[in-house]
Every structure is written in C-alpha cells, then in structure tokens.
Chains A and B, each alone.
Chain A
Amino acid sequence: MEYVKVTFPTRRRVYIDEEANGYTNRVLRVDAGTHRFDLGEGDSYRPRSRTVTVKDTSPEKPKRIAFRRKKA
C-alpha cells in the first residue's frame, strides 16, 4: 500500500486515474505505480494534471502532490 497527499488551498475532489478518490489535503491510499492525479472539471487550478510514480511511502510520509490556484 502507498500513500499520497494531494494539496490545494481549499477542499476539492481528487481524481486518481480519472476516478473520484477522496479529497485534497487528506492522506489517500493508492497502489504502487504511476498514477495521474487531477482535481476534476474546471479551469481554476494548475497544473491540469500530474503524473507521478508512487512508491516507498508510508501513512506518516505520504507522497505530496501539489496543485495551486490558477492565477487570474
């Protein structure tokens, strides 16, 4: 089992490989390997998606995947 924490200034849905998988700023479980993360529809965040290989994590040290607000 691997762990990620997708961060964003507010609470948003997290999509892993195009499937809803919990919310931002929480530790989420994922199987090891390369996954695509995004925050769903809308053009309010950047980058639009991040593809990350997740391995060697723990609940205490999850892989951090950061998204930021899109600049106006």
Chain B
Amino acid sequence: MRLAALGCALLLAACATLAPNPPLAKYEPKAGYDFERLQRGAENTDELFVILAFSGGGTRAAALAYGVLEALRDTPIEWRGRRRALLDEVDVISSISGGSFPAAYYALRGRQIFEEFPERFLYRPVQSELVRQAFSPANWFKLLGSDYGRSDLAAEYYHREVFGGASYADVIARGTRPFVILNATDMTTGAQFPFIQDQFDPMCADLAGVPVARAAAASSAFPGGLTALTFRNYAGTCGYRHPAWVELALKDHGSRVNMRRTARAENRVALADPGRPYLHLTDGGVADNIGLRGPLAALTSVNHPWSVLRMMNERRIQKLVVIVVNAANSPATRRDQSASVPSLVDTVTAAATVPLDNYSFETLELLRSTVAELNHEPGALRIELYPVEVAFEYLQPAEERAWFKNLPTSFELPRETVDRLRAAGRRLLAEDPEFQKLLKTLRAQP
C-alpha cells in the first residue's frame, strides 16, 4: 500500500513539469514582447535614455544589482521641468544569470520588488533548497529522463517560489518600460540568446507562453552545476520572414565589411532552421557575463530590435546613460606560493573563468571606445553619454575591496553579506564620476 502510494506520488511529481514553450500561430513583425510596443510610462522620456546591464555572479550579482535599483529609486532628478526618480527613466535592462533575478522580478512586479524581492530571493537559501529538491525521491523519476535536467527542476522551483507562476504574458500585460532582456547562451552557435519575441520569431515560438522562471533558469544555468534547458524550435511553421537587413548582411560575408553584423544575420538564419527542432540554452555568462553585448549592438547598429542608433538618428535621445553593474569576483589563491602542479579542478576552473573575465574586460573596453567615438562626433550629431560602472574594483579601502572580490558565486549568502552588497551597490553608484556628472546636469537634490 505504502509502495503504491509512493509510486503514485512519484508519477504525479513526474507529470508536474512545466510545459514546453508553445508555438507561434502566425508571425507578425514587432508583436509580443517588443521594445516599441511598450509604453514609456508617465515619468519616462526618450530624451533621457537609461540602460542598465546586470552581470552574472549568483546572489552576489543579484544583491548588487538590487542595491543599484534601490539607489536609482532614491535618486530624485529634475528633468523637463518635472521631479521624478531616476529609476522612472530606466528604459532597458539587460541581464545575465544572477542579475536576471532582480531584472525579471522588476519586469513583473515593478516597484513591488522593493517590498518582496529580498525575502523571496536574496535572503533565501536558494542553493540549499535546489540541492534538497534534486535529492528528493519525488524528483528522481523526472531527473532520470533524458529530456529533463537539474535546470528544469530549478525552473520549477523559481516558478513556484520566486516568480509566483508568472509567464511572459504577464510581463507583456504590464506593457511599460523598462524593456527587460534576460540573456542565455545558445550552446550550439555560442550566440547570446535574449528572451524577447524578436529572438523567438525565427523559431516560430511564442515567448508569451514561456514562464519567466524558465528564462531566469536558462540565463543562470551555470555549466556543470546546472544543466542546459531545452526549448522547442518550430521554425518554418508560422510564415516568418527575415527582416530586410539579414539578406544584405549575409551577402557581406565575403567582403568582411562588418563581420559582427553578418554573424548576427547568420545566427538568425540558424534559429530559423527547421532541421533544428530543439535549442539547448545554457548560462548567459558563457556568451557575455556582463549583459553588455546586446546594449552595445543596439548602440552601434540600425539593424537591432531596439536600436538606440536608430533612436539617435531620429533625434529622440539627448542624454544616454549606460550603467553596468558588474559583480565579477576574483578569489584570492595560494597557487603561486607553491611549486606544486595545479590540480585538475583548479586548472579546469581557470580554463572556464579566465576567458570569461577577459571577454568581460574587452566588452567594457568596447563600451569605452564606442563612447569615445560618439563623443568625437560634431556638434549637430552629438549626444551626452554617461557610461557608469559599478564594480568591486572601485571600492576603497583595499581590504574592503578584497572582501567583496572574495565572495563566492552561490545562490545562497548570509543576510549580512546580502545587506553589505546592497549597500555597496548604492555606494559605488553614488561614487562613480560619470554618475556624479549626470546628476549635476539633472539638478538632483537630496
């Protein structure tokens, strides 16, 4: 009898999985979760355009990003003759892994995040709870299946415990900026995979039916600890056709005139391939751990789903603010104190993290050079640019900096650590020279 009851429970548990992402009945350009379809909001202007990029780094990243959101909420500005909070001017948030949790929560709940998110996520022992789930007999059947992994289990946990069962239909229903983009990585192409309808269109898939938790889980599917998440690709079933620029960019392949643009076109073609019925998405940090590549493409290309360059051509933007919240750590090591050959784990860890950190460094350099290039434009074209960087490396004194840089990447940190991270986010933002320059022009008063 007991065995039968256990069997039933296991079977029920096995069935209680999130449904696969649904197909898109008919392709319509710029439908669904699309930047241009979102209302700006009463307090938001295009003239002051604010982009936030939240990096990966588990709860460390989530708490730092949350601290920055709190600081923006508490920063009054005066712009176009009206007082408001700088948070009300945020137009886009691009996020990776741990940073995707506050980003997604803000997309869903707006300012309710400040009442709910700390207890729902930041202070919660998420990692222990995920491990407990993985070892629970109720989940064994599911985890034995070849099409179900630990990230599916994590997604179900986030769906239930963090995001309250919400899907992208709920985000779309809110209908206002910021446009929040959670990023994962397409394992096969290595390309960044943003959770926006423009990305799902070539797959003839409907983002509205995707639980926000699955996007957050894909964005934070740290290789090794968590598995990739599988998404269905229905390419060829909805009448999708590529935007005009794709064909032109593909033809540029031979001349190599702009390989970044050509690569984006090729990725789009790969998504629209009917011979690829499944996509496997892993942590967004594999493609870009600071969430800045999408914003950089938007800043430098007119062929982008939320092209900032196009808005600049339309003269809609006067001040452009890019706030990068980078929770990169750099744990101290005693490796060089000994002649011993580093262990396999040490070597593999270095092989996994060093390229990622180097790429993040180059991405930030690309932002700086893009800003420098735009700053050299003549007066008629010029806009004001404010690249702001919130990162532990700017903390003083050195002991405090070292303490933050030694924090582990985990979905579980002590409450006091989370509070220190929130405070560090506020402080680093306030101390950034570009942020101070911005506030001076916005006549903010405490």
CB pair A35–B248 under 8 Å, yes or no, is yes
User: Nearest chain A CB to B28's CB is how many angstroms away?
Assistant: 15
For chain B, residues 296 to 341, give those with C-beta under 8 angstroms from any C-beta of chain A: 300-303, 307, 309-310, 312-315
Nearest A-chain residue to B373, judged by Cβ? A1
**Interface residue B243 (Cβ < 8 Å from any Cβ of A):** yes
CB pair B310–A21 under 8 Å, yes or no, is yes
Interface string of B354-381 (1 = CB under 8 A from A): 0000000000000000000110011011
CB pair B245–A17 under 8 Å, yes or no, is yes
Bound CA–CA A21/B262 (angstroms): 20
Q: Find chain A residues with CB under 8 A from B313 CB.
A: 14, 21-22, 28-29
Bound CA–CA A26/B381 (angstroms): 9
Interface residues on A, range: 20 to 34
8 Å CB contact of B261 from A18, A21, A22, A32: A32
CB pair A34–B302 under 8 Å, yes or no, is no
**Interface residue B343 (Cβ < 8 Å from any Cβ of A):** no
User: Nearest chain B CB to A23's CB is how many angstroms away?
Assistant: 9
Bound CA–CA A22/B313 (angstroms): 5
For chain B, residues 264 to 322, give those with C-beta under 8 angstroms from any C-beta of chain A: 300-303, 307, 309-310, 312-315
Q: Find chain B residues with CB under 8 A from A19 CB.
A: 302, 307, 310
CB pair A34–B314 under 8 Å, yes or no, is no
Bound CA–CA A22/B309 (angstroms): 10
- A-B interface pairs (CB < 8 A), number: 73
Nearest B-chain residue to A60, judged by Cβ? B378
Which of A39-47, A51-59, A64-72 touches B? Answer: A51-59
CB pair A18–B257 under 8 Å, yes or no, is no
CB pair B252–A34 under 8 Å, yes or no, is yes
**Interface residue B113 (Cβ < 8 Å from any Cβ of A):** no
8 Å CB contact of B257 from A22, A27, A34, A59: A34
Query: Mostly helix, strand, loop or mixed at chain A's interface?
Result: strand
User: Nearest chain B CB to A8's CB is how many angstroms away?
Assistant: 16
Q: Find chain B residues with CB under 8 A from A28 CB.
A: 313
Best-buried of A26, A31, A34 by chain B (most CB within 10 Å): A31
**Interface residue B244 (Cβ < 8 Å from any Cβ of A):** yes
**Interface residue A36 (Cβ < 8 Å from any Cβ of B):** yes
Bound CA–CA A40/B135 (angstroms): 61
Best-buried of B302, B373, B377, B381 by chain A (most CB within 10 Å): B302
Q: Find chain A residues with CB under 8 A from B302 CB.
A: 16-17, 19, 21, 29-31, 35
**Interface residue B249 (Cβ < 8 Å from any Cβ of A):** yes
CB pair A1–B380 under 8 Å, yes or no, is no
CB pair A31–B377 under 8 Å, yes or no, is no
Bound CA–CA A29/B380 (angstroms): 12
User: Nearest chain A CB to B255's CB is how many angstroms away?
Assistant: 7
**Interface residue B37 (Cβ < 8 Å from any Cβ of A):** no
CB pair B309–A29 under 8 Å, yes or no, is yes
Q: Find chain B residues with CB under 8 A from A9 CB.
A: none
**Interface residue B112 (Cβ < 8 Å from any Cβ of A):** no
Q: Find chain B residues with CB under 8 A from A14 CB.
A: 313
Bound CA–CA A18/B262 (angstroms): 18
User: Nearest chain A CB to B374's CB is how many angstroms away?
Assistant: 7
For chain B, residues 146 to 171, give those with C-beta under 8 angstroms from any C-beta of chain A: none
User: Nearest chain A CB to B27's CB is how many angstroms away?
Assistant: 16
Apart from A30-B309, A31-B309, A33-B249, list 11 A-B contacts with CB within 8 A: A17-B248, A17-B303, A20-B310, A20-B314, A27-B381, A29-B309, A29-B312, A32-B257, A33-B261, A35-B248, A53-B257
Interfacial residues, chain B to chain A (CB-CB below 8 A): 243-245, 248-249, 251-252, 255, 257-258, 261-262, 300-303, 307, 309-310, 312-315, 373-374, 377-378, 380-381
Sampled A-B contacts (17; CB under 8 Å): A17-B248, A17-B303, A19-B302, A20-B310, A21-B314, A27-B380, A28-B313, A29-B312, A32-B257, A32-B258, A33-B248, A33-B258, A34-B249, A35-B302, A51-B248, A53-B252, A53-B255
Question: Sorted from nearest, which 9 A-B pairs have the closest CB atoms?
Answer: A22-B313, A17-B245, A33-B258, A32-B258, A31-B301, A34-B248, A18-B244, A21-B313, A17-B244
